[in-house]
Structure 1
Amino acid sequence: MIARLKGIVAETGSDHAVVEVAGVGYLVGASSRTLAALGAVGEACVVHTEMLVGEDFIRLVGFANVAERDWFRLLTGVQGVGARVALAILSVLEPVDLSRAVGAQDKAMVARANGVGPKLAERIVRELKDKVGGMALGPAAAAQAMPVGAAADAASALLNLGFRPAEAAAAVQAAEDELGAGATLDALVRLALRKATK
């Protein structure tokens, strides 16, 4: 699985970018917010990615930060929300705004995105309220405090195991505090898992 790309922006389109890494160009679908954050063609960039695999396709979706990727995963877990709709939502709402909308059950805010009608918006805020947990209670703190680097990958691993974003971030932060900033991904995940299950 490809979790992150570090390379050069080779080209951009209305809904994608090509990131060149060691001579290989990766086509990455992205929200307009992520495309704006990547920078101009020829500039260095880091893109957090989610690999989507279907019967007849393999596709990379890219994000400017880990919080945006985590929200993409949450959104696509809702029935009726595919990658295209999730990216449309992330194009108009930042993770902090999404946390606020879900916490307040504000379906009108979510319905601002293209392709999201009132019924789907209501389903999104209703289904995600319990999954978001601490993020909805303290959106600014939880969404902005998402870790970076190896810590981000460790948090992503915990999210894939079913932990809530706030729980994953707290466990990884505690592990990083104990191990130090230079800790390996493997060590971070192991210690974060122990701390999260206490």
Structure 2
Amino acid sequence: MIGRLRGLVAEVEDGHCLIDCAGVGYVVACGARTLQRLPAPGDETILHIESSWSAENGPRLYGFLGRDERRAFTTLTGIQGVGPKAALSVLDVLPPGDLAGAVARDDKAAIGRANGVGPKLALRIVTELKGKSLGDVSFTPSAIGGSGEIVPPKPSLTGEAVSALLGLGVAEVNARRAVDQALLRLGEEAELSALIRAALQELGR
């Protein structure tokens, strides 16, 4: 079972990418957001992998730049009627933190924006996710503050670093790419300040 791939981005196509790991090319299905945030072909990346097998398609690999996205994917595909394609579509329009907020608000319309997700399936997703958690992200009504407003989930390290770069005027795509590359060098236990400095180095600032 493959849980993570570290290698060079060889190709990026619609719906998937090819990751070269020591001369072996792995075809990895990804959502549009993940593909947009990948580094340029020839650069190194790390993808968190969820493996699946079906009689129709055989073995398939699904890749994510963050563990929270992979956990959200596996939770979504555990819901009846939500296949891998629909789960990727949901995460394209609602990253894990936004998905948690939508669930806490009973915002079925937000989930229904995903391709292949109709009103009935959106309702089922909201119902099934209530009370569940994915690491730091919780799909629970306790995320609603006393004023009745949604309290946003605690930002991830990557999210905070990207937000800092956005505040400096860096475009989102470039900011995410720089942070992802910096995280490769520093590791996932890096301090926020060190991650921001390393990302700025990636940008040549």
Pair in the same fold by TM > 0.5? yes
Distance 2:40 2:9 in 1: 7
CA offset digits 1:88-134 (Å, max 9, x no partner):
11111111110101111110110011111111000000111022386
- Aligned to 1:109, the other structure's residue is in SS state helix
Q: Which residue of structure 2 aligns with residue 104 of structure 1?
A: 105
Residue identity matched to 1:140? P
Taking the aligned partners of 1:145 and 1:13, their CA distance within structure 2 comes to 28
Alignment of 1:162-181 (within 5 A): none
Cα gap change, 1:119 to 1:73, in 2 (>3 Å) = same
Taking the aligned partners of 1:84 and 1:69, their CA distance within structure 2 comes to 13
Distance 2:38 2:73 in 1: 18
| Identity within the alignment, % | 47
CA RMSD of aligned residues (A): 1.8
Cα 1:77–1:145 shift into 2, 3 Å: farther
Distance across 2 between alignment mates of 1:93 and 1:43: 27
Amino acid aligned to 2:153? A
Number of the residue aligned with 1:158 = none
Q: Offset at 1:139?
A: 4.8
Partner of 2:147: none
1:144 is displaced (CA, Å) by 2.0
1:63-142 correspondence to structure 2 within 5 Å: 63-132=64-133, 135-136=138-139, 137=143, 139-141=152-154
**TM-score, normalising length: structure 1:** 0.69
SS at match of 1:135: strand
In the alignment, which residue of structure 2 is the partner of 1:166?
A: none
- Hey, which of these two has a bigger chunk of helix by percent? 1
* Counterparts of 2:37 and 2:88, CA distance in 1: 14
* Stretches of structure 1 lacking an aligned partner (at least 5 in a row): 147-180, 182-198
TM-score calculated relative to the size of structure 2: 0.67
Q: Secondary structure at the match of 2:138?
A: helix
User: Residue type matched to 1:99 in 2?
Assistant: A
CA distance in 2, matches of 1:144, 1:99: 14
Equivalence for 1:144: 156
Q: Which residue of 2 aligns with 1:14?
A: 14
Preserved contact between residue 109 and residue 119 of structure 2 (Cα < 8 Å): yes
- Which whole-Å CA distance do the structure 2 matches of 1:11 and 1:26 have between them? 10
**1:30-58: CA deviations, max 9, x gaps?**
00111112121111100000000123500
Question: Which residue does the alignment assign to 1:159?
Answer: none
Report the residue type matching 2:156 in the other structure: Q
Which consecutive unaligned segments of at least 5 residues does structure 2 have? 144-150, 159-188, 190-205
Report the equivalent of 2:52: 52
**4+ residue segments displaced more than 3 Å:** none
